[in-house]
Structures are given as structure tokens and as C-alpha cells.
Amino acid sequence: MARPPKARQKVLDAARRIVEMRGAGHLTFDTLAEESGVTRGGITYHFPTKEDLLKALIEADMAQWDAMADAAASEAGLPCPRAARLLGQVRCSLAEADDAHKRFVAGMLSAAMVDPPLLDPVRTHLAEEFADWGWDDADLERYLLLLAADGLFWNHLFNVSPMPAEVRPRLVALIEAKVRAFADADPDRSAAPSSPPIPET
């Protein structure tokens, strides 16, 4: 008999709570069964190993990130889809993470340090995300802005930024302004191609 489709999500939600509260090291099938209310057999039906479960958590977090980036990109109102996507990614990196998400990222990072293949879904996702980049000077400048945003994310996550908190909004605005500048310079515009002229008869 097939397991109820909601069981998989219940397991993922419970696993995330455990990682947030206690770290990935405390994520076991027994604690997960207790937290989720799903039997151990139900858990292993969806996630045969702990590695499968941790990878699924990473994939779910990336899917949530992509949805937020897509929403930010559509709100940007930029004519260039690549610049809009870039702005969406930057805005996600620069968003103020809540404490639960900080604990989740830190917990997953510690697990990945012990088991590097856990980050394979991230590697695959990034390879697909950047598959159409030519890595010319313009792409390198775009990537530099992504790295700047990522650096702010990690600085904030670990609370190690030397920059005064009141300065951060100015830096965020500066990064966004530079991303928007690419919308004017990028030849890859979203405008629909014009219809070919109708030949005169």
C-alpha cells in the first residue's frame, strides 16, 4: 500500500525542525519518528538513508530559495531577464535571515563538512543555473556582485562583519544599483522579437 503523499513533507518539516533546534548530528530516524509522527518504516520508505534525507532537505531549501528569487526577479521590473534573475538572487542573499534559518544553514554546513557529497544537489543546481553563462568580462562582473551578496550573507550568518549595521543598507543599495545597471547594458533583453514584415502582394 502506498504511503500517504503528505508523509514525505511531514518528515521533511520535522527533520528541518530537528536540524534547526539541535543540529544535523541529532537527526536520527528515531528522533525523526518521534518528531514527525511518521513510523520509522514510513520514513525509510521515502528516505532510505540519512544522506538521502539530508540531500532532500538541501533540495527543498534550494527550491524555496529559487521561488523567492523568482518572485524578487518578477517584482524588479527589469527588461533583461538575466539582470532580473541576478537581482532576485542578490536580494535573496541580502535578505535578513531569521534565527531558525541561520541555525538550519549552520547545521547543514556542519553535516556537509563531514560528508561533502551532501552538497552534490547544490553543485548540480549551480551548474544548471550558470550553464548559459559565457564567462566574458560582463559575466565576471555579474558573478562578482553575486559573490559580494554571498559574502554579506555569510558575514551576517556567522556575525563576523566588521561593517557597522547602519552601513549595511547603503552597501545593499550599491550592489542593487550595479545589478540594475546591467539591465541597460545587457544585450540579452526580454522584449519579444518583432514579427517579420508581411510581404507586399
Please tell me the distance from the alpha carbon of residue 154 to that of residue 118, in angstroms, as a whole number.
Answer: 19
Distance of CA 94 to the CA centre of its chain: 12
pLDDT of residue 78: 82
- DSSP character at residue 130: T
pLDDT band at 198 (very low <50, low <70, confident <90, very high): very low
Please tell me the distance from the alpha carbon of residue 47 to that of residue 27, in angstroms, as a whole number.
Answer: 13
pLDDT band at 20 (very low <50, low <70, confident <90, very high): very high
The count of residues in the chain is 201
Mean pLDDT across the chain, nearest whole number?
A: 86
pLDDT of residue 4: 52
Domain boundaries, the chain: 1-48, 69-185
CATH number for the domain running over 1-48: 1.10.10.60
Task: State pTM to two decimals.
Answer: 0.81
